[in-house]
Amino acid sequence: MSRRYTITLISRLRVPRRCSSSTSISPLSRSWSPRDAFAAATERVRAGTLSPEDAHNLFDELLRQGTPVPERSLNGFLAALARATSSTACIKDGPALALALFNRVCREEASPQVAVPTVCTYSVLMDCCCRARRPDLGLALFGCILRTGLKIDQITANTLLKCLCYAKQTEEAVYVLLHRMSELSCVPDAFAYNIDLKSLCKGSRSQRAHDLLRTMAKDRGGCFPDVVTYTTVIHGFFKEGETGKACNLFHEMIHQGVEPDVATYNSVIDALCKARAMDKAEVVLQQMVDKGVQPDTVTYTCMINGYSTSGRLKEAAKMFREMKSRGLIPDIVTCNSFLASICKHGTSKEAAEFFDAMTAKGHEPNIVSYRILLHGYATEGCFPDMIDVFNSMESNGIAADCHVFNILIDAYAKRGMMDEAMLISSKMQERRVNPDVVTYSSIIAGLSRLGRLTEAMEKFNQMIALGVQPNKAVYHALIQGFCIDGDLAKAKQLVSEMMNRGIPRPNISFFSSVIKSLCQEGRVMDAHDIFDLVIDMGERPDGILFNSLIDGYCLVGKMDKALKVLDVMESVGVEPDVFTYSTLVNGYCRNGRIDDGLTLFREMPRKRIKPDTVSYRVIMVGLFRAGRTVAARKMFHEMIESGTMVDIFTYNIILGGLCRNNCADEAIALFQKLRAMNVKFDITTLNTMINAMYNVQRKEEAKDLFATISASGLVPNESTYRVMIKNLLEEGSVEKADSMFSLMDKSGIAPSSRLLNDIIRMLLEKGEIAKAGNYLSKVDGKSISLEASTTSLMLSLFSREGKYREDMKLLPAKYQFFDGLC
């Protein structure tokens, strides 16, 4: 076969152009042989200092001098180039360059100076074609080998398998491996099997790979599965979610005497970490160390990622320390994973500290690092810190991309800060970063939520004009906005428009959420209009939609209309469920129609609807609210006898209801009985019982119960401290109340405006003016302000005829104006 055919094949591949270079190598010294020149060039390829221009200059000189090119030296040089893909700063595409150079030396005019290509040369070129993602040319070159009659060796046969696999002809590769290798006078080796196994697993055909592994193990040719074979199939099974098969093969591997290497252990550990089975991952890690296999960066990265995504920050930090103690340096991917976990499970402040520590230790944050930290601050609403990080990006040489701007815009939009969001959008345009559909979606959604629908539509039209196609999220935001605004005609128009664009129209769940939102605002008639719109669009309302509308009418006390919706629901074949009836019963109870609620509750079994825990809770709340304690007790016993689950919320209803209906002693007895049964209480239960004990003068029991809160695994909340402080003040223990307030403050619990007003009034009524002044100093007029009853009391006490007029000077200066008002 002529060389011209080979040249024609290779010329189909795009190759690097020659370009000027200031670092070109000088022409060959006359004292250098071609072998020496190729050896030096090969070393420069491996060192990453040979540029494409240098390679072309070398060949120019050889061809100019008419020096014969040794086949072995040429092959070694081409093979080095083939492996130089993206590994050096000078050569970006080594395989394509190797093919281009071979194309030059094979020209007709150069033929006397170049040895005839051998099977080794063709193997190198076939490998280059695979690496250059042109396996079809590699297969054509194999055809050249067959035409020339060259004897195929094992390496060439394996390269043929590689070309077939790269060309996604894996089944042909398996056929060649099992049936045609012998015809080529080659015996399949482990490397050949591993090529096919890797391709099968990459194509999500790990079971087929496992079958091939079995064939390999049974082969009498002396080729047995090695560690690479097992690791490839194990990794394939894990990738496809076949964890059981992967683990079985891992144990079989060890049983067959094939010792897992670091890659095998990493595959197992990575899969276990992704499944958040960290305890099992720890066992495998320890087994790895015990077997003398040293964990590498990948091992620790998997463990750190696993702990991080599971929210186990302490264990992740421990792995960081252990990793460094072994001399391994976490890469930026590992650091970013840990940073993201801190933002998700910790605080942005902790994340910022880790971010700073990364930088201090030489881990330069990349744009992903900045995105993670920005998202953390955005989620917490720490906008000044968010902007500081954003501004620091440019000073550190990292340009903000569309994703970064989207984080900032979305953060402001979700908080209703649209002016700030629009300012960031302007900065985005100034830096010539093009907005995408996510950018517009955030802005349009934010404007729609605020009812600024004209501006939202302007942005919508702008995005279309710029060629940014709106998606489902954009349409949903606008449709919801117009629905809430009452412009159902525009909403319907947008629904039609999105369908014309091939976007599925909003489903029932979407409209249910809109109806629920309107009902919670008391806009039931508007909600009913949307309900009618859904029917008009040809949708069939489901139980959730009907229940949302029923709940809306119940909330505004229109029970007759709620029942009419129930009738419509049944007439169209939608069966009411336990939620429907619980909603109606709750509506009757909230509106003081307890008897109607009981009647409906008793109707449920006749409708083959069994009351659940929520149903019983609703009716018992209604009975206690109506003062029908005996009936509520009976309902509780009925609930137990029916086998319905009684949870802590139900117990809280019973205990609280008894206490509010002057049955505190009975509530305490029931509480003690439940305590003996080891019922797990929550803090609400204990707050209720502490208050009840104080109310019936069982003060020591109340104090003892408060003291046991921590031992019960619970944490006092603001309500707990309010109960204790108010009762201590009522009994005259002012100093103890002060101590309790200090304890609350040290626990990091901010007092509510209601609690401070209660304390101030109680202290003023007891004549503790100076102490009341101390609490008045905590009133900031923002989160905490004086209630009308507190102000009225102060006016009466510090007026000219007031009881404590002379003690007004003990108050903070800003409250001494009472003297001038009275």
pLDDT of 17 over the 50 cut: no
Cβ atoms of 635 and 624 within 8 Å: the answer is no
Binned at pLDDT 50, 70 and 90, residue 26 comes out as very low
Identify which has the larger pLDDT, 800 or 233.
233
Mean pLDDT of the chain: 85
Range of weakest confidence among 562-566, 600-604, 776-780: 776-780
Of 166, 230, 181, 240, nearest in space to 205 by CA: 240
Binned at pLDDT 50, 70 and 90, residue 30 comes out as very low
Residue 69: strand pairing partners:
114
698-739 tens-digit pLDDT: 999 999 999 999 888 889 999 999 999 999 999 889 999 999
Cβ atoms of 93 and 55 within 8 Å: the answer is no
Give the pLDDT confidence score for residue 415 in this predicted structure.
92
Binned at pLDDT 50, 70 and 90, residue 3 comes out as very low
The whole-angstrom separation of Cα 619 and Cα 625 is 10
Give the pLDDT confidence score for residue 508 in this predicted structure.
86
Of 661, 665, 611, 609, nearest in space to 636 by CA: 611
The whole-angstrom separation of Cα 681 and Cα 652 is 9
Tokens encoding 787 = 């209630």
Side-chain-side CA neighbours of 673 within 13 Å: the count stands at 8
Distances (CA, A) of 711 to 670, 700, 722: 21, 18, 20
pLDDT of 668 over the 90 cut: yes
- Rounded mean pLDDT, 140-158: 86
- Rounded mean pLDDT, 252-279: 90
Cβ atoms of 588 and 597 within 8 Å: the answer is yes
Cβ atoms of 337 and 308 within 8 Å: the answer is yes
* Cα 366-368-369 angle, rounded to 5 deg: 70
Give the pLDDT confidence score for residue 25 in this predicted structure.
42
Binned at pLDDT 50, 70 and 90, residue 811 comes out as confident
3 state SS for 628-688: CHHHHHHHHHHHHHCCCCCCHHHHHHHHHHHHHCCCHHHHHHHHHHHHHCCCCCCHHHHHH
Give the pLDDT confidence score for residue 236 in this predicted structure.
92
Give the pLDDT confidence score for residue 433 in this predicted structure.
93
Tokens encoding 347 = 């605080």
The whole-angstrom separation of Cα 374 and Cα 368 is 10
Burial class (CB within 10 angstroms; exposed 0-12, middle 13-18, buried 19+) of 593: middle
- Rounded mean pLDDT, 11-21: 44
Residue 631: how many other CB atoms lie within 10 Å: 17
Residue 472: how many other CB atoms lie within 10 Å: 15
771-805 tens-digit pLDDT: 888 888 888 766 788 888 888 888 888 776 667 77
Binned at pLDDT 50, 70 and 90, residue 15 comes out as very low
Identify which has the larger pLDDT, 278 or 782.
278
The whole-angstrom separation of Cα 437 and Cα 309 is 29
Local structure of 523: helix, strand or coil: coil
Tokens encoding 506 = 């909003």
Tokens encoding 785 = 């302000």
Identify which has the larger pLDDT, 717 or 347.
717
Local structure of 69: helix, strand or coil: strand
Give the pLDDT confidence score for residue 787 in this predicted structure.
87
Tokens encoding 491 = 């909403």
Identify which has the larger pLDDT, 723 or 314.
723
Identify which has the larger pLDDT, 455 or 345.
455
Name residues whose C-beta falls within 8 Å of residue 555's C-beta, 6 or more positions apart in sequence: 519, 520, 522, 524, 587, 590
Give the pLDDT confidence score for residue 326 in this predicted structure.
85
Tokens encoding 282 = 């720890």
154-184 tens-digit pLDDT: 888 898 999 999 999 999 989 998 888 888 7
Residue 114: strand pairing partners:
69
Question: Which of the 8 DSSP states describes residue 424?
Answer: H
Local structure of 593: helix, strand or coil: coil
Distances (CA, A) of 575 to 561, 568, 691: 18, 11, 44
Share of the chain above pLDDT 90, in %: 46
Identify which has the larger pLDDT, 219 or 530.
530
Give the pLDDT confidence score for residue 712 in this predicted structure.
86
Range of weakest confidence among 35-49, 190-204, 252-266, 734-748: 35-49
pTM: 0.65
pLDDT of 814 over the 80 cut: no
Cβ atoms of 546 and 519 within 8 Å: the answer is no
pLDDT of 89 over the 80 cut: no
Determine the residue type at 118.
Answer: T
Question: Which of the 8 DSSP states describes residue 743?
Answer: H
Give the pLDDT confidence score for residue 821 in this predicted structure.
46
Return the CA Rg of the chain: 39
Of 274, 283, 278, 292, nearest in space to 251 by CA: 283
